[in-house]
Structure 1
Amino acid sequence: MKALFLVGGLGTRLRPLTDRMPKPMVPVMGKPLLERNMEALKLHGIREIVLSTCYRPEVIEQYFGNGSDFGLKIRYVCEESPLGTGGAIKNCEQYFDDTFLVFNADILSNINYSEMLRYHKRKKADVTIAVTQVENPSAYGVIEYDEDGYAYLFKEKPAPHEVVSHFINAGVYVFEPSVLWKIASGRPVSVEREVFPKLLEQGRKIAVYKGCNYWLDIGTPEKYIQAHRDGFEGRLHLPEINFHERAVYSASDPHISGTAVLRGPVCLGRNVRIEAGAAVGPNVVIGDNGQIGKKCKVANSILWNNVVLEDGAELSECIVTDGSTVEGASKLKHSIYTPDMIKSAKHLAV
């Protein structure tokens, strides 16, 4: 079994977090979102992955390489220009000659992929689409389906008075390779607006899979913060992190001064230093090589890799991205900071 991740999006709504990296590489509890999703696939025995890239592909390739360090075999197909969801899938056709999974790489979910594949086979479907139920579906693609679990109508971003179904496309699919023949090549194509409706017109079967209890589209800074809140509160299940068992999780042995105070839940990356008199937590992530100076106070914040807080800095409800240095005695609240913003003394409220 192979899987295809569509990782070429610009991540416009998530800026400035995506100014320097593609959206699938933003860290979730210290690991890239894409790595989190790959870990979930490995639990179901999937080891071969194709990545369809476009925006900042070098960031993804430098991190994952050929996949061997992650117990995977990874291939890359880079779009010269954005091809849409359908065009990107078509562009990777050469690698798929059997049933395969497709993912929009900006989501987190608790889908049981083995169960979804079994469901797909039972339904003898050409495509199976995972769906999730939302209160307000007007910002998403809505799917209407019959009593046998087969889709019969797709509606993109319906107006409130048009809403019939509250089940939306969750961005996870099972495809039969024969569907690839139905997708036009060499131009942008949307699976939601073109491919799926065309399959229905041709009498092909599109099954709807509802086994998704947790789902989040990390498309905005607010949703990104929500993902971490869910992680701290146990709604988002991560293989190696359980804050009910340990209030402080660390990827390696951190250097923590004896007079520093950690109030869980706290998630620490590799090679973290927390100096004397610092108070960290609750609900704090500190990425690899993070340095928290003397008497710093950090709460309800997400610090990426190589972040330095100089002595006396205070952060509350902040996101600080890779390579940032926060000056000593700074008091920051409800802000996003990147190195460029710090240089120009600008920040964004969150």
Structure 2
Amino acid sequence: MKAMILAAGLGTRMRPLTDHCPKPLLRAGGRPLIDFHLAKLAAAGVSEVVVNCSWLAEQVQSYLSSANCYGLDIHLSREEQPLETAGGIVQALPYLDSGDDAPFLLVNGDVWTDIDFSQLLNCQPQAAHLVLIANPPHHPSGDFSLTEAGLVTEDDLGSRYTFSGISVWRPSMFRGLAHGPRALKPLMQSAIASGGLSGELFTGHWWDIGTPQRLADLDDFLSASPQAADSTPKVP
């Protein structure tokens, strides 16, 4: 399975940290955030990864070119302006779509998690599959519910969960879409309407690095939890 890391955001909520450093290269536990994903994807058996970038793209490109990226074949999809999630996927689709509609793994570049990506590599969703988590303090109302059959719905079934930023998608969901900025939520809603959006609940560690304070909190957590910080090899 191929994978894509979403790394093209402007990081406006992370300023001033992102004034001169793109968000994926901010450090926690002594490593750039994107490095955790690259290491875990390689460890899971992924060999080909697409990374989109926009803000301070030269730094992302330089890092991916010079770092020891775990033997991964990395394609850079550069956006002159951020295209939002779905728009970025549409632009990168030639790297992700082999023509047989084999699903690909999609990971937000601004989350940290100890999920084992290998558990998703055999996922064969009808349209897409979302990894959900218990609602964090900054998003108490959640995004979706899960039916007993494992389908994602926007209906309130008594327990609502938050989308983790980790998912598996069929390339056919993006074929034929016009290039340009495009959000992912409408495609999720379309998949829900067709009964093709499945999901699972992840109960391990997960952080949304949306503010400087959350980055600092993650750094403290990793500093206090060497096993979590060192669970995958480091690069220089």
Q: Would the TM-score normalized by the shorter structure come out above 0.5?
A: yes
Label 1:16 to 1:228 Cα distance change in 2 as closer, same or farther (>3 A): same
- Whole-angstrom distance in 1 between the partners of 2:115 and 2:75: 24
- Whole-angstrom distance in 1 between the partners of 2:67 and 2:90: 23
> Which letter maps to 1:221?
P
Report the Cα offset of residue 69 of structure 1.
5.2
Aligned counterparts, 1:1-350, within 5 A? 1-65=1-65, 70-96=70-96, 97=98, 98-118=102-122, 120-121=123-124, 124-136=125-137, 138=139, 142-153=143-154, 165-181=159-175, 184-192=177-185, 194-201=186-193, 203-234=194-225, 237-239=228-230
**Larger strand proportion, structure 1 or 2?**
1
**SS of structure 2 residue aligned to 1:80:** coil
- Consecutive unaligned residues of structure 1, counting only runs of 5 or more, are 155-161, 242-250, 252-268, 271-350
Determine if contact 1:132/1:167 at 8 Å carries over to the other structure.
yes
Label 1:191 to 1:58 Cα distance change in 2 as closer, same or farther (>3 A): same
Q: Which segment is superposed worse, 173-182 or 64-73?
A: 64-73
Give the TM-score normalised by structure 1: 0.60
Report the Cα offset of residue 197 of structure 1.
0.7
Query: What corresponds to 1:296 in structure 2?
Result: none
Label 1:141 to 1:188 Cα distance change in 2 as closer, same or farther (>3 A): farther
Identity of aligned residues (%): 26
Give the TM-score normalised by structure 2: 0.88
Label 1:101 to 1:212 Cα distance change in 2 as closer, same or farther (>3 A): farther
Report the Cα offset of residue 125 of structure 1.
3.1
**Larger helix proportion, structure 1 or 2?**
2
Aligned residues: 231
Report the Cα offset of residue 20 of structure 1.
0.5
Query: What corresponds to 1:309 in structure 2?
Result: none
Report the Cα offset of residue 81 of structure 1.
1.5
Residues 187-225 of structure 1, C-alpha deviations (whole Å, 9 max, x = no match):
211112x11112223x14111121341110111111011
Higher relative contact order at CA 8 Å, sep ≥6: structure 1 or structure 2? 2
- Whole-angstrom distance in 2 between the partners of 1:50 and 1:126: 20
- Whole-angstrom distance in 2 between the partners of 1:77 and 1:112: 25
- Whole-angstrom distance in 1 between the partners of 2:227 and 2:24: 17
- Whole-angstrom distance in 1 between the partners of 2:190 and 2:67: 35
